[in-house]
Amino acid sequence: MHYGLILERTVFCLSLTGLIAILIYGGVVEAKSGETNAQKGSPVKPTTAPPSAVAQGPVCDISAHPKITKVTPDPVKPGQRIVIKGTNFGTRDCFKDVTFKSVHPKEFKYVNDSTAEATVPELNPGLVPVHILTAAGSSQFTLQVLGK
């Protein structure tokens, strides 16, 4: 009886939050003369995880870029609470951050798709850029900060 070698390849593909990993495994298997992979192996039945076992992440519309249209009050003093109005702030899970220049406030609050609130941190008086960050991008508004 004559024996040959058949190269088998197994491909695994995994997609996690937009990242794709592919693993290719090559192995050598003994086969009888005239035997093919189709004859040697059994059919593969695909399986999937039940929906309850699959982790669900937030669904963010990355094409809806945020835009700040108004910040009140303006001018403002450190320690005051401001209301940031605009469009396309997304969902609570997609709204990421508020900063004043590069300073993070002690707290900020997502209200809805068009409103956020924040407490002005300790800053020097002058014009300060207020940034919001969402999964779809960022927007800036220039705010006048007064001295205490």
Instruction: Tell me the β-bridge partners of 28.
Output: 7
- Alpha-helix runs per DSSP H in the chain: 37-40
Give the structural domain span for 34: 1-39
CATH of the domain at 78: 2.60.40.10
Tokens of residue 49, six digits: 């995880």
Structural domain count of the chain: 2
In a domain? residue 129: yes
How would you write the pLDDT of the chain (148 residues) with one tens digit per residue? 444 444 444 444 444 444 444 444 455 545 455 555 555 556 666 666 666 655 666 788 999 999 999 999 999 999 999 999 999 999 999 999 999 999 999 999 999 999 999 999 999 999 999 999 999 999 999 999 999 8
88 burial level (CB within 10 Å; 0-12, 13-18, 19+):
middle
User: Which amino acid is located at 47 in the chain?
Assistant: T
102 domain residue, yes or no: yes
Angle at alpha carbon of residue 68, lines to 74 and 143, rounded to 5°: 25
- Please check whether residue 45 lies inside any domain of the structure: no
Mark whether 80 and 119 lie in a shared domain. yes
Residues 34 and 75 in one domain: no
Residue 74 and residue 29 share a domain: no
Q: pTM for this structure?
A: 0.63
Residue 136 lies in a domain: yes
Report yes or no on 57 lying in a domain.
Answer: no
